[in-house]
A and B are shown apart, each in its own frame.
Chain A
Amino acid sequence: MAPPGRSPFGRRLRVLAFMAPWIVGFTAFFAYPLLATGYFSFTSYDLLGEPAWVGLRNYAYLFAGDPVVRIAAANTVWLVVVLTVLRVVFALGVASVIARLRRGVGLVRTLCYLPALAPPVAATLAFVFLFNPGTGPVNGFLRVLGVDGPLWFNDPAWAKPALTLLTLWGCGELMIILLAALLDVPAELHEAAALDGAGAWRRFRHITIPSIAPVLLFGVVNSVIFSLQYFTQAVVAGAVASGQAEVVGSSKVLGFPDNSTLTFPAWLYQQGFHYYNMGYASAMAVLLFAFSLGFTIWLIRRMRIGVEEAA
């Protein structure tokens, strides 16, 4: 007979005890909200009264009735594509430059990381004022160069590019992670390839990229999820640029200008907490979750295949 605690049952108990904090957290903050959201998505629920079962009505409205959700989804897809590509390329570019520096590395690294520490609301406020078409220094500087600057956050065509600039400015975290990966690439591989006559681009393509592929994959997935959840900067920028600054309460300028900054999560929040359509908001959340999960799985598979082929 095995001594107490060494029996299979005792071992399982010990493992479960160690896992208990995670199990409790997972159940309370992920599994239960997920299942509850799934249930609410089939109900008419205003947060205050009893939910009433309405079947697929919320989903029907989501796919065929709500003209604004299509705009919000298109904005989010735009951000996912553009932000993911630019964020990874920009962070990798900055990290590559820093990795080659010989002097003042610490200072440059710190300066590049600092913007990531700015709270999103403060950073957005600063950007909207910097990019104010009439009084902001950015357009003032462009005028000195003889260029008529765009209206940035006040123009539907430029609002999302302006948000992109804001996000790139604050992507120091990804830059630091990629820098660490770049510094781990074995130098002797580069030296051997250089001796064989490989140029800088070929070395980057065939040595650097495969070496940092897992970190790049993380960067891409992280950027996709970040873009799918894009909320604070879009809401604050729209409200401040409109001149209303009504971020709290039942903001009616959400998405200013012309719904160009209205993201899927922002519309979801508005529906759930300001229009009291929590059932509909839950249907939107289920769709967002399913899309995020499906897209991430597809992305990981595709990138793994790509990495294996490159190797």
Chain B
Amino acid sequence: MRTSATIGAGMAAVALLAASCTAGTTSQAPQPAPAPGEQVAITVASQFTDRELEILNRVLDGFRAEHPGVTIESRGNQDDDKITQAIRGGNPPDVAISAETVNLGQFCSSGAWQDLGPYLARDRVDLEQIPRAVRDYTQYQGKRCAMPLLADVYGLYYNAGLFARAGVTAPPRTTSELTELAKRLTEWNPDGSIKVAGFLPVLGSQANHPWNWAPQWGARWTDGQGRSTLGSDPAWQEMFRWQKELVDFYGWDRLVQFTAGLGQQYSADNAFQRGRIAMAIDGEYRTGFIEHQAPGLDYGTAPFPVSDARPELYGTGLTTGTIVGVPRGADEAGAAWELVKYLTTDTGALVELANGLNNVPTTRAALHDPRLERSPQYQTFLDMFDSQALVPSPASANGSAYMKTTEDFGVKWQSGQVADLGAALRDLDAQIDAAKSLGGR
């Protein structure tokens, strides 16, 4: 009896201790900016390394020049795991930069990243200068706890040399045109294996993911209540059926053999850069990779084709990007906000970052700034960004869980393991919603 009482007391003590092991509270009132001449030290955590970190640091120098009293320690190679642990341990950076917009739901709902609303209101920051889709992926359920720091836009890359050889003069605008062209551009080896794929329809390979494709069909992830709509939105079925037609054209076994022999997505061996894929979906950053890794490649870019049933969508595409915020418990929240504001609204800073990182700047002023370096291929993505027709993937309280569940399903579907697409998608909804309910937010 005494032993069990002791164990019970111990458990209770541990539970209390465990429950108390969380970081401090969120401060709602905006902290003042440092006074002129006031000495303040802030830390910035980002996932950037090497060349990219150098570019960020150069831009931070611009902030230092404007705020000589502020000392900045820039820590690279800090992914979301590390930043989260630092916040949890009560020793967060003052400014956090994340490349995973889907995690924003968690950052906002848990209060791990501070609500920037009061700062924006105090400093009268005009959010209209940022495209709607980008504004969407930097807030969660009406709470703005991040600002956008450059964006990615996804579109079509096509091999102009292969197009010319096949007598093709313009990129496809609809998915049926894409299918027809993919078949025309595909080249086979004598043994029947794929030599050049017109378009690689394998989900999970290269940049082929449900979230990158979905905007082209107008497919919606969630309804107004945040419930999964893969089973109820017919656009998803249309997308998966379009994919399966192309998979069947190539043959699943041949596709597996072909993709297994392709180079890594972000290496110089990238299949599009090596001419092994005639058309591919990818982000604007690919133009930078091609410039450095395959400068001789003759290629063009265009918006990715859209569903035949929704031609008005042409010009749309997925947008995602890097986000920046002020973590809960930041020592110098006022100075941190000044830096966030500088990084996300100062045209010079955005242009310098965009030129260095080959990403799209996130304000209209920076987008139209003459200092922004632009090739014809890169211009496609700038135009798409300016058109306001972009779509983000929704942030979720359990991060990218819904993305993996959907991609797992796509892998089963494309390899012929799913008999009833509609029923399977409805089952997928139930799985995604059940997983979301684990967090209880």
Interface residues of A (CB under 8 A from B): 32, 35-36, 38-40, 44, 46-52, 54, 57-58, 61, 65-68, 132-135, 151, 154-155, 240-245, 248-250, 252-259, 270, 273-277, 279-280
Contacts and interface: CB of A to CB of B under 8 A. Distances in A.
A46 B431 contact: no
A50 B79 contact: no
Nearest to B266: A245
A39 B14 contact: yes
Contacts of B47: 249
A250 B22 contact: no
Given A47-B88, A48-B84, A245-B264, A258 B415 contact: yes
Given A48-B88, A252-B403, A35 B99 contact: no
Contacts of A65: 434
B192 interface: no
Given A39-B18, A46-B106, A48-B112, A240 B264 contact: yes
A61 B261 contact: no
Nearest to A244: B265
A134 B257 CA distance: 7
Given A39-B15, A258-B412, A258-B415, A50 B22 contact: yes
B204 interface: yes
B397 A48 contact: no
B404 A252 contact: yes
B238 to A, nearest CB: 23
Interface in B384-416: 397-401, 403-405, 407-408, 411-412, 415
A273 B401 CA distance: 11
Contact of B259 (A54, A154, A270, A276): A154
B22 A48 contact: yes
A132 B435 contact: no
B399 A274 contact: yes
Interface of B: 10-11, 14-15, 17-19, 22-23, 47, 79-81, 84, 87-88, 99-100, 102-103, 106-107, 109-112, 204-206, 209, 256-257, 259-266, 328, 397-401, 403-405, 407-408, 411-412, 415, 431, 434-435, 438-441
11 contacts: A36-B18, A47-B110, A48-B106, A48-B328, A61-B438, A241-B260, A243-B265, A250-B103, A255-B408, A275-B398, A279-B438
Contacts of A57: 438
Contacts of B408: 68, 255, 258-259
Given A254-B404, A276-B399, 6 more contacts: A36-B18, A134-B260, A151-B257, A253-B204, A258-B412, A277-B438
A65 B435 CA distance: 8
Interface centre among A49, A134, A155 (most CB of B within 10 A): A49
Contact of A252 (B261, B407, B431): B407
A47 B84 contact: yes
A255 B411 CA distance: 12
Contact of A48 (B111, B264, B438): B111
A13 B202 CA distance: 67
B257 A44 contact: no
Given A35-B10, A248-B79, A249-B79, A277 B398 contact: yes
Given A49-B22, A243-B265, A277-B398, A39 B257 contact: no
Given A48-B106, A48-B110, A276-B397, A35 B11 contact: yes
Contacts of B263: 243
Nearest to A155: B256
A258 B400 CA distance: 17
Nearest to B262: A243
A54 B263 CA distance: 46
Contacts of A280: 438
A44 B22 CA distance: 14
Given A48-B22, A52-B440, A133 B87 contact: no
